[in-house]
Amino acid sequence: MTVITGKQFLKSTINLLKTPKPIIKGLWHLQQAKPERFMSIGLLLEQQAVNNSDLIAIQFKDQRYSYDSLNKQANQYAHFLHEYGIGKNDKVAIMLDNRPETIIIALAVVKLGAIACMINTTQRDSILEHSLSVVDTKLLIADELYTSAINNIETNLSSTLQQNVFYVPALETPDMSDGYKNISTLVAGYSVLNPESTAQIQLKHCAFYIFTSGKTGLPKAARMSHHRWFKSMAGMGMASLRLTADDVLYLSLPLYHNNALTVSLSAVFGSAATLALSEKFSSSRFWDEVRAHNATAFTYIGELCRYLLNVPPSNKDKQHNIKKIIGNGLRPEIWDHFQQRFGIEHINEFYGASECNLVFSNALNLPHTAGVTPLAFTVIQYDIDNDKPVYNAKGKMTKVKTGETGLLLTKITKRSPFDGYTDDNESNKKLFKSVLKDGDCYFNTGDLVHYQGYRHISFVDRLGDTFRWKGENVATTQVEAQVNDFVQIEQSVAYGVKLPHHDGRAGMVALTLNCPIHEFSASEFYQHVNAALPSYAQPIFVRLREQQDITGTFKYKKTDLKKESFHPNPATETVLIKHPGQKSYTMVDNNAITAIELKKLSF
């Protein structure tokens, strides 16, 4: 694991100070971002519409929206929504794919002091019903593509919401089907003037609900205030990424993802830059779209970078204008390869969950780090065996030393408040009190991080993803890093599964291959993991799959894999087992399953 040296820190700090203007601007905006201040996302747009009226705010396919036209269209939607009774703190659900209307409508909602609830467009049935109901949604605006998904649950929704469902025509078919309310035509006659409500919004007010996955399988709505959005703009967009009005930021992540709605949009709006919006991510079209938009930066998550590396190398890999990228989850094992292959100057990795009250950002452009934060945090020793922090003789938690791994806690203060979830019980579960001294309060991120020194961290694993086997801690990310080096593997997902008559969890990996499944060399894979991983971290089971199941935000669906455990699915997938004493993996059959269940096979 990387530790930041004094020489690295000093050299990078000197390089950073060579471009002081955006840093000073960002720090000034950070200082101004006080929760009580009368300022908001909508007001910033209105200011940019005056100061940079003709600059392009959004590019989408062959469409162009200046800051002035974007503001005027948002105003039309805002006046329409106001006429339908939408005002301060009302919730408006937005279930739209990546398209300019998604941003325009979200801006219209927040201009009214209302809250835009960004619905994951892959949600269906009870999960979609839960998301629309848990936040008491008053009005829904959806893409025409999702009429059937909404029709399936409409009778279970509140009577108010049933009467206030509007649709935006699908991109491919601009004419709306009969019987549905086409909001695009309904707003056409409304005023383009700024609504009076925008100037009355304070930074502390909530702007968005971002839905995160819950332990029960049902999404939780995390609050995103104007305050946190502005801190992202100032700290990451200005001071760290240092966008200017000449930059074009390419975005292929879904707009219901916080990296899109908060990180990307705030970075662009704060600097009067341009957002080049893609309809969806495609590894085969990615660089062609980057070139077509003349993009100078893009937003990523770690899986996206791995998909791009899986595309065969081309002599056009460095034929682009990308200088810097921003995102999170870029794993150390592919960081250098990705940077060198595509010629990226600045990888602005950051750390900050949707509900977390602060952000780390790689402003110094150091390798293999999620960066630094000026706000208060601590990394404490954590006992994974007993699933609890380590306490000292005084009853307080114990900090890790530089180079050690522990649980990241972020301090809750007036300058960095915890917005929490819409469910207060869920919010309270995330808080630790009297951590280092009596009366203090910290947010429990649930993430294990490596403390690198000089206030820098790197992500290691989610607590729930780290499991115990043979009395040792196994970090799934480290297993995946080594497994992915095997020549036949395209993607791997590591996790632990419960075995009868065994303590802890046995290691298992789900693999997708870059060759036909029947060509997979189980013996060579065994040799690879035997050399690369300690015995306790070596996978006991291997599931071979045609493709991995992922969420709309490119996260692997580990919960389903854990439920399937080591049981094969004969119709579609093969499961292999590493028998004790054997130097290869063999097929799991009924005899093996029976032996495990009857304790005739131990590991």
- pLDDT of res. 455: 97
Instruction: Return the amino acid letter for 69.
Output: S
Structure tokens at 311: 């595309």
The domain boundary residue, chosen from 342, 361, 380: 361
* Residue 109 falls inside a structural domain: yes
Q: How far is CA 161 from CA 90, 139, 221, 433, in A?
A: 12, 5, 18, 39
- pLDDT of res. 216: 43
* Contact (Cβ atoms closer than 8 angstroms) between residue 298 and residue 267: no
The domain boundary residue, chosen from 334, 361, 388: 361
Asked if residue 191 and residue 72 are part of one domain, the reply reads yes
Q: What is the CATH number of the domain that holds 184?
A: 3.40.50.12780
3-class SS at 103? helix
Q: For the purposes of burial, counting CB atoms within 10 Å of the CB of 269, is it exposed (0-12), middle (13-18) or buried (19 or more)? A: buried
Residue whose structure tokens are 């990226």: 344
Give me the number of domains the chain comprises: 2
- pLDDT of res. 366: 97
Residues 372, 550: Cα–Cα separation, whole Å: 30
Asked if residue 319 and residue 189 are part of one domain, the reply reads yes
The stretches in the chain having pLDDT less than 50 are 215-216
* Residue 441 falls inside a structural domain: no
H-type alpha helices, 237-357: 258, 265-271, 286-292, 302-310, 332-342
Name the phi and psi angles at 557, rounded to 5.
-85, 80
Residues 358, 235: Cα–Cα separation, whole Å: 10
The domain boundary residue, chosen from 361, 379, 404: 361
Domain enclosing residue 174, as ranges: 6-361
Residues 361, 511: Cα–Cα separation, whole Å: 32
* Residue 244 falls inside a structural domain: yes
Asked if residue 75 and residue 222 are part of one domain, the reply reads yes
Per-residue model confidence as pLDDT tens digits over 562-603? 778 888 775 678 899 998 888 899 998 889 889 888 878 878
Element (H, E) at 151: helix 147-151
Asked if residue 494 and residue 349 are part of one domain, the reply reads no
* Residue 85 falls inside a structural domain: yes
Structure tokens at 129: 């019903």
Asked if residue 478 and residue 355 are part of one domain, the reply reads no
* Residue 390 falls inside a structural domain: no
Per-residue model confidence as pLDDT tens digits over 16-74? 888 888 889 999 998 999 999 999 999 999 999 999 999 999 999 999 999 999 999 99
Residues 498, 566: Cα–Cα separation, whole Å: 9
Asked if residue 479 and residue 343 are part of one domain, the reply reads no
* Residue 602 falls inside a structural domain: no
Asked if residue 347 and residue 473 are part of one domain, the reply reads no
3-class SS at 162? helix
* Residue 456 falls inside a structural domain: no
Residues 35, 55: Cα–Cα separation, whole Å: 29
Q: What is the CATH number of the domain that holds 577?
A: 3.30.300.30
Asked if residue 78 and residue 210 are part of one domain, the reply reads yes
Structure tokens at 120: 């994951």
Per-residue model confidence as pLDDT tens digits over 411-440? 999 878 887 677 766 667 789 999 999 999
* Residue 346 falls inside a structural domain: yes
Structure tokens at 40: 């908001």
Asked if residue 339 and residue 208 are part of one domain, the reply reads yes
- pLDDT of res. 91: 98
Cα–Cα–Cα angle for 81, 263, 119, nearest 5°? 45
